[in-house]
Structure 1
Amino acid sequence: MTLGKRAIFLIFPIVLAGYVLAACLVYVVESRALLSLERARIFQQLDHAEALFRADANQSRSFLYSLLEGNAVRLFMSEPDASYRNNALSLRIQESIRTLSDDMRAYISFSILQPDLSIGYYFENSDDPFADISPAQMTLARTLFKGESLRNWTFLNEGTSRPLIVYSEFIDPTTFSRALPSNKDRALLVQVAVQPDQFLAMLQSLKSEYGTEPLFTAVAPKVATPGELAATVALIPELHLTLRVPEAYASKALWQLTLVLGIGTVGMSLISIGLMITLIRRFITDPIAALDQQVTAVMDERSDGIVDAGGDGEIGRLTGNIKKLHDRSSSALRRVQEASWTDALTGMQNRSRFNVLAGRIVQEAVAGRGSAALLFIDIDHFKFVNDKHGHEVGDELLRVFATRVHDAVAPIMQQRALPEPMLARLSGDEFAVLIQAEPGTGAIRAACDAILALFTNGFEVQGKIYPVTASIGVALCPRDAQSVAALISNADAAMYQAKTSGKNQSSRFSRNLQDKRDRVRQIQEELRVLDPDEQFHLVYMPIVDQAGTVTGCEALLRWTSPTLGRVTPDEFVPIAESSGQFTKIDWWVVSRAMSDYGKIRAMFGPQAVLAINISSAELHSRSIGDHFTREAARHGIAPDRIEIELTETYAVKLGDQLHRNIEALRGRGFRISIDDFGAGYTSVQQIIEYTADTIKLDRAIVETMATPDLSPALTALIALCHARGMVVIGEGVDSEQKVDFLTRAGCDFFQGYLISRPLALDELGIWALQRLGETTAAQPDEQAATTGPRQQGTLRLL
Structure 2
Amino acid sequence: MTLGKRTFLLLFPAVLFSYILAASLVYTAQSQAMLALEQARLSQKLDHAAALFTTAIGQARNFYYAIAEGDAVRKFVSEPDETYRGRSLGMRLQQSIRQLLDDPKTFISFTILKPGLEPTYYFENSDDPFAELSTAQKALGERLLTSGEGRRWDYLPDVGGRPIIVYSEFLDPVTFMRAVPSARGQALLIQVGTEPKDFLRLLQRIETEYEGVTTLSDRPPNSAPNVAMVRLPTQQYLSFTIPSHHISATMGGLKGLLVVGVLVMSLLSVGLILALMRRFVLQPIAALDREVTAVMTGESDSIKDMGAALEVGRLTRNIRALHNQSQQSLNLIQQASWTDSLTGISNRSHFQIVAANAIERALTYGGHCSLLFIDIDNFKFVNDKYGHGVGDELLRHLARRLGEAVRTITTLRALPMPILARLSGDEFAVLIQTPPGQGTTRAVCEAILGLFSGGFIMRDKSYPVTASIGVALCPYDAQTLSELVANADAAMYQAKTSGKNRSSRFSRVLQDKRDRTRLIREELQQIDPDEEFHLVYMPVIERTGKVIGCEALLRWTSPILGRVGPDEFVPIAEASGLFSKIDCWVTDRAIRDHAALAALFGASTILAINISSAELHHDEIADRFIAATTAHGVDPRLIEIELTETYSVSLSARAERMLSRLSEAGFRISIDDFGAGYNSLQQLIDYRADTIKLDRGIVQKLACAENLQALTAMIALCHARGMTVVAEGVDTHSKFAELARAGCNLYQGYLISKPLVLAELGFWALSRETDYGREIPEAEPPLRIA
TM normalised by structure 2 equals 0.62
Equivalent of residue 584 in structure 1, options 576, 581, 584: 581
Alpha-carbon distance in structure 1 between the residues aligned to 2:587 and 2:435: 56
Structure 2 residue aligned with 1:370 = 367
Q: Give per-residue Cα distances to partners, 1:87-146, cap 9 Å, x unaligned.
A: 99xxxxxxxxxxxxxx99342489xxxxxxxxxxxxx88469xxxxxxxxxxxxxxxxxx
Alpha-carbon distance in structure 1 between the residues aligned to 2:341 and 2:629: 61
Structure 1 position 350, deviation (Å): 4.0
Alpha-carbon distance in structure 2 between the residues aligned to 1:86 and 1:351: 35
The answer for unaligned runs of 5 or more in structure 2 is 1-22, 33-78, 85-109, 123-137, 155-181, 184-218, 227-277
Equivalent of residue 432 in structure 1, options 429, 449, 463: 429
Distance 1:737 1:414, change over 3 A: farther
Q: Give per-residue Cα distances to partners, 1:613-652, cap 9 Å, x unaligned.
A: 1233444445433333343344333222211111111233
- RMSD of aligned Cα (Å): 4.6
Equivalent of residue 200 in structure 1, options 146, 149, 153: 146
The answer for unaligned runs of 5 or more in structure 1 is 10-71, 74-84, 89-102, 111-123, 129-161, 164-194, 209-233, 236-255, 264-280
Contact 1:310 1:320 in 2 (8 A): no
Structure 1 residue aligned with 2:489 = 492
Structure 1 residue aligned with 2:670 = 673
Contact 2:643 2:671 in 1 (8 A): yes
Structure 2 residue aligned with 1:629 = 626
Alpha-carbon distance in structure 1 between the residues aligned to 2:150 and 2:629: 54
Equivalent of residue 571 in structure 1, options 560, 568, 572: 568
SS at match of 2:429: strand
Equivalent of residue 114 in structure 2, options 97, 104, 107: 107
Equivalent of residue 418 in structure 2, options 410, 413, 421: 421
Structure 1 residue aligned with 2:274 = none
Alpha-carbon distance in structure 1 between the residues aligned to 2:499 and 2:143: 53
Whichever residue aligns with residue 424 of structure 1, its letter is A
Matches within 5 A, 1:766-777: 766-771=763-768, 774-775=769-770
Alpha-carbon distance in structure 2 between the residues aligned to 1:509 and 1:530: 31
Distance 1:747 1:411, change over 3 A: same
Distance 1:758 1:313, change over 3 A: same
Structure 1 position 203, deviation (Å): 10
Equivalent of residue 477 in structure 2, options 477, 480, 487: 480
Structure 1 position 359, deviation (Å): 3.0
Alpha-carbon distance in structure 2 between the residues aligned to 1:624 and 1:646: 13
Equivalent of residue 537 in structure 2, options 536, 540, 545: 540
Whichever residue aligns with residue 592 of structure 2, its letter is S
Alpha-carbon distance in structure 2 between the residues aligned to 1:205 and 1:516: 42
Q: Give per-residue Cα distances to partners, 1:683-732, cap 9 Å, x unaligned.
A: 22211122321111112222233344543332222212111111011112
Distance 1:793 1:563, change over 3 A: farther
Matches within 5 A, 1:167-566: 198-202=144-148, 290-295=287-292, 297=294, 305-311=302-308, 317-328=314-325, 342-343=339-340, 346-391=343-388, 393-566=390-563
Contact 2:550 2:607 in 1 (8 A): yes
Structure 1 position 302, deviation (Å): 6.2
Equivalent of residue 598 in structure 2, options 582, 597, 601: 601
Distance 1:506 1:282, change over 3 A: same
Q: Give per-residue Cα distances to partners, 1:636-669, cap 9 Å, x unaligned.
A: 3322221111111123322222212212222222
Structure 2 residue aligned with 1:652 = 649
Structure 1 position 7, deviation (Å): 10
Structure 2 residue aligned with 1:57 = none
Structure 2 residue aligned with 1:727 = 724
Alpha-carbon distance in structure 2 between the residues aligned to 1:576 and 1:295: 64
Whichever residue aligns with residue 478 of structure 1, its letter is P
Whichever residue aligns with residue 505 of structure 1, its letter is R
Whichever residue aligns with residue 114 of structure 2, its letter is Y
Equivalent of residue 660 in structure 2, options 659, 663, 666: 663
SS at match of 1:644: strand
SS at match of 2:421: strand
Alpha-carbon distance in structure 2 between the residues aligned to 1:396 and 1:591: 50
Alpha-carbon distance in structure 2 between the residues aligned to 1:541 and 1:744: 23
Distance 1:365 1:299, change over 3 A: farther
Contact 2:359 2:474 in 1 (8 A): yes
Structure 1 position 310, deviation (Å): 4.8
Q: Does 1:695 align with 2:692?
A: yes
Q: Does 1:712 align with 2:709?
A: yes
Q: Give per-residue Cα distances to partners, 1:273-296, cap 9 Å, x unaligned.
A: xxxxxxxx9999986664344245
Whichever residue aligns with residue 612 of structure 1, its letter is I
Whichever residue aligns with residue 674 of structure 2, its letter is F
Alpha-carbon distance in structure 2 between the residues aligned to 1:356 and 1:105: 31
Contact 1:674 1:695 in 2 (8 A): yes
SS at match of 1:507: strand
Whichever residue aligns with residue 562 of structure 1, its letter is P
Structure 1 position 764, deviation (Å): 1.0
Report which stretch shifted further, 523-532 or 501-510: 523-532
Whichever residue aligns with residue 552 of structure 2, its letter is A
Alpha-carbon distance in structure 1 between the residues aligned to 2:520 and 2:296: 55
Alpha-carbon distance in structure 2 between the residues aligned to 1:301 and 1:262: 28
Matches within 5 A, 1:7-22: none
SS at match of 2:593: helix
Distance 1:599 1:345, change over 3 A: closer
Structure 1 position 497, deviation (Å): 2.1
Distance 1:729 1:289, change over 3 A: farther
Contact 1:473 1:492 in 2 (8 A): yes
Alpha-carbon distance in structure 2 between the residues aligned to 1:378 and 1:442: 22
Distance 1:417 1:688, change over 3 A: same
Report which stretch shifted further, 703-712 or 634-643: 703-712
Structure 2 residue aligned with 1:248 = none
Alpha-carbon distance in structure 2 between the residues aligned to 1:573 and 1:203: 46
Structure 1 position 383, deviation (Å): 2.7
Structure 1 residue aligned with 2:640 = 643
Alpha-carbon distance in structure 2 between the residues aligned to 1:381 and 1:635: 46
Whichever residue aligns with residue 107 of structure 1, its letter is K
Alpha-carbon distance in structure 1 between the residues aligned to 2:386 and 2:633: 57
Contact 1:108 1:125 in 2 (8 A): no
Alpha-carbon distance in structure 2 between the residues aligned to 1:318 and 1:743: 101
Structure 2 residue aligned with 1:616 = 613
Alpha-carbon distance in structure 2 between the residues aligned to 1:197 and 1:582: 41
Q: Give per-residue Cα distances to partners, 1:754-796, cap 9 Å, x unaligned.
A: 221111111111111111xx449x99xx7xx99x9545579xx
SS at match of 1:367: helix
Structure 2 residue aligned with 1:189 = none
Alpha-carbon distance in structure 2 between the residues aligned to 1:721 and 1:532: 37
Alpha-carbon distance in structure 2 between the residues aligned to 1:575 and 1:502: 21
Alpha-carbon distance in structure 2 between the residues aligned to 1:374 and 1:636: 59
Distance 1:630 1:400, change over 3 A: closer
Structure 1 vs Structure 2: percent identity of aligned residues? 55
Distance 1:478 1:698, change over 3 A: same
Aligned residues: 563
Q: Does 1:744 align with 2:741?
A: yes
Alpha-carbon distance in structure 1 between the residues aligned to 2:733 and 2:561: 38
Distance 1:741 1:454, change over 3 A: farther
Whichever residue aligns with residue 698 of structure 1, its letter is D
